[in-house]
Amino acid sequence: MIILSLLHPIKQVPVQVWTFPNESVIRIGRSTENQVILYSAVVSRRHVELRRVGLEWEVVNLGTNGTYLNGKRITQTTITDGSIIRLARSGPNIQIRMGEAAFRELSETLPASKMSHPRPDMPMVPTQITGQSHGEDDDSESDTQDRTTPVFPK
């Protein structure tokens, strides 16, 4: 099991959590074809991919603005439980947790409304990142669908 938590930009606490019990590839970006959809000017349509390789997970940057791990831009690297990746220099932070113990910990601290379980018959809810546009390059192709999206609490 892998758990992704979108972190509040200031408080660095989870504001949205996605759990993936069996997936071997997880895509993150602005496109509605991704499992995790993040609307932000600095997030590419297909920004990053997490891939299971044996018992480990690796992160692969696909985005124009880069992906950062521990402040360093990466192209592809193995990640460990608790790693935090940043999409673009000024974009959203995503914490990566692995295993059933991590799921139990998060379940005890987060309300159920913050947890998302991807199901084939239910579309993922996109998350809008506000206040994150800092003029970085973007492989723009705006999404024009009208939707209601949650935003970070003030």
pLDDT in tens, 72-116: 999 999 999 999 999 999 999 999 999 876 666 666 665 555 555
Q: Which domains does the chain have, with CATH numbers?
A: 2-128 (2.60.200.20)
Q: How far is CA 39 from the centre of its chain?
A: 11
What is the C-alpha separation between 22 and 152, in angstroms, rounded?
28
pLDDT at 11 over 80: yes
- Whose tokens are 């997936």? That residue is 23
pLDDT at residue 47, rounded to an integer: 98
Give the residue among 141, 135, 55, 67 at the shortest CA–CA distance from 99.
Answer: 55
Q: How far is CA 39 from CA 16, 31, 44, 100, in A?
A: 13, 9, 9, 29
What is the C-alpha separation between 76 and 48, in angstroms, rounded?
10
The reported pTM is 0.70
